[in-house]
Amino acid sequence: MKVEPGKSFHTHKGYIQLENLIGKQYGARLKSSLGTEFVALKPSIRDHIFKMLRKTQITYPKDIALVVMFSGIGPGSRIVEAGTGTGALTSALAFYVKPTGHVYSYEVRSEFVETALKNLKRASLAEYVEIKNRDITQGIDEKELDAVILDLATPWLVISHAHSALKGSGALVSFSPTIDQVVKTVEAMQENGFVDIETIECLIRRMQIARGKTRPETLMTAHTGYVTSARKALFEH
């Protein structure tokens, strides 16, 4: 929620006058019109991702976390990403490379570019991202990159371009929903000078915690996709 004078937030547990939060710290407690206690928390990058305007399926935080870890990125990293989609993964990457790094994101569909820009601005991350309305399978402009991260239907068509664009030992990470995509991608990695190739799947099962009746929740976020990572090895001369 954006806190503004005269604005209220309505829920089934009563409404809150948001202007009562002006001047207060994050973590402040306040009561609704029905006496229910609420706490004002600062939105995390996870919150921004789940609240995004969506025109595509977003990448789940569990997969984003693995992509960030396998890519080895941090403040100052230069990354190429494709495709942008709604900008969920883009936002997370920008969050971790700021304030001195940059994300160059390739997206073929212009209508997605507009939505992604809105989401990046809402999360105050737009200044760390350049979105290119281009087909990455035709080539990558940037060189000496720390990482190339792919979330598109045909990642194997980008592998040779990624090898040329990366620094030696740079990371390539690809997210794909089907194993057929993974097989083609891994074969392309092996043919194009990548090593330390690994594919994993992450399943999350939340726990219901209560004394005497702790158990796994009935529903879980199971398969969303496969994360394949690799590192660039230099060709022999």
Q: What is the mean pLDDT of the chain?
A: 94
- How far out from the chain centre does Cα 203 lie? 17
In one-letter notation, the amino acid at residue 117 is: L
- What the block records as the tokens of 235 is 């060709």
The pLDDT of residue 209 is above 90:
yes
> Percent of the chain scored above 90 by pLDDT?
88
Tell whether the model's pLDDT for residue 235 goes beyond 90: no
Of 107, 103, 162, residue with least CA distance to 134: 107
- Note the pTM of the prediction, 2 decimals: 0.88
The rounded percent of the chain whose pLDDT value lies above 70 is: 98
Tell the CATH topology of 45-232: Rossmann fold (3.40.50)
In the chain, CATH 3.40.50.150 sits at 45-232
What is the CA 62 to chain-centroid distance, rounded? Answer: 9
